[in-house]
Amino acid sequence: MTSFKTTVFILVLHFLEGALSNSLIQLNNNGYEDIVIAIDPNVPEDETLIQQIKDMVTQASPYLFEATEKRFYFKSVAILIPETWKTKPEYKRPKLETYKNADVLVAQPDGPGNDDPYTEQMGNCGEKGERIHFTPDFVMGKKLNEYGPQGRVFVHEWAHLRWGVFNEYNNDQKFYLSKGRVKPVICSKKITGTNAAKQCQGGSCIEKSCKIDRKTGLYEKECEFIPDDIQTETASIMFSQSIDSVVHFCTKKDHNKEAPNLQNQKCNLRSTWEVIQESEDFKKTTPMTTQPPKPSFLLLQTGQRIVCLVLDKSGSMVAGDRLHRMNQAGKLFLLQTVEQGSWVGMVTFDSAAYVGSELIQINSGADRDKLTKTLPTQASGGTSICSGLRSAFTVIRKKYPTDGAEIVLLTDGEDNTISGCFNEVKQSGAIIHTVALGPSAAQELEELSKMTGGLQTYASDQAQNNGLIDAFGALSSGNGAVSQRSIQLESKGLTLQNTQWMNGTVIVDSTVGKDTLFLVTWTKVPPQILLWDPSGKKQEGIVVDTQTKLAYLQIPGTAKVGVWKYSLQASSQTLTLTVTSRASQTTLPPVTVTSKINKDTVKFPSPTVVYAKIHQGSRPILRASVTALLESVNGKTVTLELLDNGAGADATKDDGIYSRYFTAYDENGRYSIKVRALGGSDTAGQKAIQQRNGAMYIPGWLENGKIKWNPPRPENDDDSQGKQVCFSRTGSGGSFVATNVPKAPIPDVFPPCQITDLKAKLYGDSLINLTWTAPGDDYDHGKAYKYIIGISTDILELREMFNDSVKVNTTDLIPKEANSKEVFVFKPENIIFENGTDLFIAIQAVDDANLKSEISNIARVSLFIPPPALPEPTTSSPPCPDIHVNSTISGIHILKVMWKWLGELQMSVSLG
């Protein structure tokens, strides 16, 4: 009988699969279509880079085809070219393709020489990745010795991106003990090579043999595995595709299950090919009988942003002061969010549509003010969403094609005719962002975002949550340089009683400050507004708009770095404060926070996973305080602390991606997400780089018995604590729809989450120290009831027959709160544990409803009892034989005498 726990796990996997990515990729008759490769706007113009991208994909396609047993190939690719590069007739305007949904980004390295190809993977095993990262030098073929041919590396990264597999090497632990012998972390075991170390100082390097650490039995950390340049083994691409003979992924037959790598840890010892076989791509294809065609390429160049607001002014917009709140959010978008040089139009609708403004290019504050004056002031009539969309298409087409244009659609009403214009929307090539306002917005609204790659958001009628302004603030351009995008520093709201004050601070850090805007809204009468800059100077010149019920202050030039203070006073009304800014310099990447959820529609009891990525350029920001606020359709708000600890929902520790499970559903319907991040550390050192899931850097090659070393990887700041970065960011994480939620009280159906970071160390010759991050009662919330620890000397038996394994006495092991550090020391019993024994350990958490987690990753210890230390050799040595070379003694005799003497000397040293 299948356990309920297993059923829930399968259900979770079903709903998580493929949910993370916003990719446009389609699999059509074995060929991957609509792949988007984007060249970052900060990359200097170089047309040869475009040709190199084409060559990379063209080389990769047949390699992918053979590696997947003739199942997959690359069919069509769009290359997104920066607006700042020269225009050419063959460059077309993008449709749905943007930098935000690019599958591959070619961007400058985050430090000199840091050209590691890697793939962002927010999810766990079998879940699609986010994006592949290449540098121009890598694409141009300047790193062939270190990573191998670009096309082969592309296939390695594609497996991360599309099928959610992980690396089969381990930069943090390059060797392991197996039955008392030191082995390199490789896959398959048939890869040949040698072990060596290189010590460099002052620009010169010497080669050394690897030394054994007498405490661990492993080689010291300087030791590297150097592969032979000529091999016969064909697997595995996820270990090193740069080896010429490697043309396949590891299968169940040749996979090295013992190797301590991420693939084994994350994928329950399964080979990469087994994971690929379980993917939806694999299930809906069969091997081809003919060779695939070469990839086709479409060259696209981004241009000026074209956006049309389509705003609901039907009678229901009177409720909850929605019209005023919509205008407040619209004004923020027009005054600040939309970028300079963009073309913006305005359409409003009720039972019919009305053009408020044709497209206007924003070149000045006057253009922005002109558009704000067209926001609707009265609400009446019915709701015809299709009328609004059709009118927007007409407005756009008067100047430009609708391909790649954006429409921001806000509505609070139901409309059972919305599906009538779905085909027109698909054919338009426009991107539609949807804002659902209140509990009754059309159920089909999100379909418009899904089919066009737009952002879907939801705002409740709780004005203090500032949901509408957050939604509009998130609508910065999907293209163009990050330095041009609006960044939200703060978003707060509060309902004040009597003559209360709303006091607080906002941090303006050195990466932002340009075009900084403070915006205050109210629901009744203007409040008293006081604002001081970091030097204590009170700010003057606040603009008050009593009709829209907002006030704002635009800081001229670049705002001072530091802590800005504000005080707002009002009586019996709701106030909100929003602060936005832009990058202070085009050459200094701003700290950015982007958030998302794993699925836009979640069916109970599947959990939602909330993600927040905090980076400065491509450098992760670690140890930030990150919280997510999830608001249901009835206005109930749940606060989640997001973590970057590599446990629970978080796939990788210290990668700047913070995650958490959400299970606190209270009803069916829409849920909005808002993320707040404060402070952190800019580590971005070697440790952070090693966490990336990407192609292995080959330290050198063994050619004709001699090692040909590659240049060492660039050394970054080794300070693991990094430097403190003070910043504040808030932003909308979009929305999702929950279905099948039972009525209260909601039963306990959520098991503890799987433990994924179990580690084991051996103390002496009998004690084993285990560490892991505590799961919760419901995934990573609350506290588990108990732990079950199983041990075995056979790794596969432990995985496949955990219930029958030898159990450790855990009577005294009381689970801690979720995300606490657990430590447990035990002595193996009922099992033979002697020198050279490999012991495998796994753990399972159980909650108070007897729901069990999945079995943890498998940790291992190898009992290594070092041999007795050799005594120091004596200073005396056998006398040197008196050898006189003359014509009567043969050379052979001399060699025999010397050989005998050397043997006596060696014996003397060995025995002391």
Instruction: Give the residue numbers annotated as catalytic, written as ranges.
Output: 157
User: In a 10 Å sphere around its CB, with 0-12 CB exposed, 13-18 middle and 19+ buried, how is residue 1 labelled?
Assistant: exposed
**Under 8 Å between Cβ of 782 and 883:** no
H-assigned helices in 222-300: 237-240, 262-266, 272-277, 280-283
Distance CA 494, CA 520 (A): 11
Alpha-carbon torsion, ordered 279, 285, 286, 288, to 10 deg: -120
User: Chain-centre distance of CA 247, in angstroms?
Assistant: 28
Give how far Cα 480 sits from Cα of 340, 426, 513, 719, 820, Å: 11, 24, 19, 34, 42
DSSP 422-459: HHHHHHHT-EEEEEEESTTS-TTHHHHHHHHT--EEEE
Residues 6+ apart with CB under 8 A from 442: 383, 385, 411, 413, 414, 415, 418, 436
C-alpha closest to that of 395 among 305, 303, 307: 307
User: In a 10 Å sphere around its CB, with 0-12 CB exposed, 13-18 middle and 19+ buried, how is residue 100 labelled?
Assistant: middle
**Under 8 Å between Cβ of 281 and 289:** no
Give how far Cα 364 sits from Cα of 339, 360, 855, Å: 11, 11, 60
Distance CA 513, CA 532 (A): 15
C-alpha closest to that of 262 among 652, 780, 696: 652
Number of other residues whose CB lies within 10 A of the CB of residue 187: 29
Beta strands in 511-617 (DSSP E): 512-522, 528-532, 543-545, 550-554, 562-569, 573-583, 591-597, 601-603, 608-616
**Under 8 Å between Cβ of 217 and 177:** yes
SS3 767: strand
Distance CA 564, CA 658 (A): 27
Distance CA 172, CA 134 (A): 22
DSSP-derived secondary structure letter, 411:
E
Residues 6+ apart with CB under 8 A from 204: none
**Under 8 Å between Cβ of 209 and 226:** no
DSSP-derived secondary structure letter, 854:
P
Give how far Cα 686 sits from Cα of 116, 722, 764, Å: 11, 11, 32
DSSP-derived secondary structure letter, 318:
G
**Under 8 Å between Cβ of 715 and 733:** no
Distance CA 317, CA 672 (A): 19
**Under 8 Å between Cβ of 544 and 520:** no
Tokens of 214: 């007498």
DSSP-derived secondary structure letter, 120:
E
User: Chain-centre distance of CA 129, in angstroms?
Assistant: 7
Distance CA 353, CA 498 (A): 42
Distance CA 309, CA 345 (A): 6
Instruction: Let me know the angle formed at the C-alpha of 902 by 898 and 907, rounded to the nearest 5 degrees.
Output: 150
